[in-house]
Amino acid sequence: MEKSDTIRPGEQTLAIDPATLADAQLAFIGQIASPWSRREDCPKNMREARLRARPAAILIAAPFRPALAGLAAGQFLHVLTWLGQARRDLALQMPRHASQPRGTFALRSPVRPNPIGLHLVRILAIDSAEGRIDIDGIDVLDATAVVDLKPFFETADIPPAGPFFGGSPGGEDA
Amino acid sequence: MEKSDTIRPGEQTLAIDPATLADAQLAFIGQIASPWSRREDCPKNMREARLRARPAAILIAAPFRPALAGLAAGQFLHVLTWLGQARRDLALQMPRHASQPRGTFALRSPVRPNPIGLHLVRILAIDSAEGRIDIDGIDVLDATAVVDLKPFFETADIPPAGPFFGGSPGGEDA
């Protein structure tokens, strides 16, 4: 959840600003209620959010509540958010504590052409009529907009068997 | 990848059409090259796409290619697509072979308020200068728009230990 208008040494902008493009339009379906109102307090990724063990909630706007039918406590859910405070025009970024810049698409930073956040959370309780989903925690600021909810499915969302070269400890901290 | 203007028995529309809202704007960063040009041939989910074992590719537009730095063959990647052919206004849907309707947010159907697809793929090869990422397969039609790429991280993207009630065999087939 880092917003900055300044560019650090080693960082590089794209040749265009994606914020000036409008190929498709999003509708906000609700917002996050989280304990984090200041950027410096907010967990930097879902691993940190889970370690802090501070529950949060997804508040779904009234017109979208009928679409919650079938979700239940205990399920894991992908939450897609809109991290609209971040700049969108960086090609290379210098993560904190990194020794060299990395491409935006190799990072989970909110600074990206389309600032959609992807967060795997667990449903603690759900009240569909009120549009409230209590969750185990999340790594976004209070009042962050929500654009989609998707059920997690092991068969689709876990890498299939085979050599695995993905990720490195701390690598998601961007 | 099912588009339909007709509503099946048991299905229900939202009180508003999300396509009429414009809370945020997306920039397309590229498109998918897949073997699937007809909806009836397209795998219905990533499990099916992997079983078919038909490689595909992500073609990134020139302005966004510098942001690919750091991605490498072997890595798993979340691809976010824009499934713009689907209607967006269903609250309850009747998946094929289902006995009763389910809420949109309990399904992975492309019919949803914001038709963003989430696909976990493996990078087979990458040519950043050409903007081409060869992948193991994907469950979308040829020429589907791409809106984001995110590295998969085990610490963030796999459910933490504990009771797990998510998913059921075939449940992601929507």
Give the closest residue to B156 by CA, choosing from A118, A98, A93.
A118
At B168 the pLDDT is 40
Q: Between chains, do A156 and B172 touch, taking CB under 8 Å as contact? A: yes
Question: 3-state DSSP call for residue B146?
Answer: strand
Let me know: does A173 contact A83? Beta carbons within 8 Å. no
Instruction: Please report the number of interchain residue pairs, chain A to chain B, with beta-carbon separation below 8 angstroms.
Output: 280
Question: 3-state DSSP call for residue B129?
Answer: coil
Residues of B in contact with A101 (CB under 8 A): 69
Residues listed for chain B: 174
At B4 the pLDDT is 55
Name residues of chain B where pLDDT drops below 70: 1-5, 162-174
CA within 13 Å, CB half, B92? 13
Which of A15, A72, A105 is closest, CB to CB, to B149?
Answer: A105
Give CA angle at A143 (A141, A147), nearest 5°.
100
Structure token digits, residue B108: 């992975």
Q: Between chains, do A27 and B113 touch, taking CB under 8 Å as contact? A: yes
Q: Give pairs for A20-23: CB < 8 Å, separation 24+.
A: A21/B25, A21/B26, A21/B27, A21/B28, A22/B25, A22/B26, A22/B27, A23/B25, A23/B26, A23/B27, A23/B28, A23/B82, A23/B145
Residues of B in contact with A63 (CB under 8 A): 14-16
At B172 the pLDDT is 45
Residues 6+ apart with CB under 8 A from A115: A82, A83, A84, A86, A88
At A4 the pLDDT is 55
Buried b (16+ CB within 10 A) or exposed e, B18-38: bbebeebebbbbbbbbbbbee
Determine phi and psi for B150, rounding to 5 degrees.
-135, 135
Q: Which H or E run includes A169? A: none
At A59 the pLDDT is 98
Q: Between chains, do A46 and B155 touch, taking CB under 8 Å as contact? A: yes
Mutation choice for A interface testing from B157, B168, B172, B173 by most A CBs within 10 A: B157
* Residue range B145-169, pLDDT digits in tens: 999 999 999 999 999 876 544 444 3
> How distant is the Cα of B82 from the closest Cα of chain A, in angstroms?
8
pTM of this prediction?
0.92
* Mean pLDDT split into 10-residue runs, chain A, 174 residues: 69 96 98 97 96 97 98 97 95 91 97 98 98 98 98 95 47 44
Q: Which H or E run includes A134? A: strand A132-135
Q: Between chains, do A76 and B159 touch, taking CB under 8 Å as contact? A: yes
At B107 the pLDDT is 97
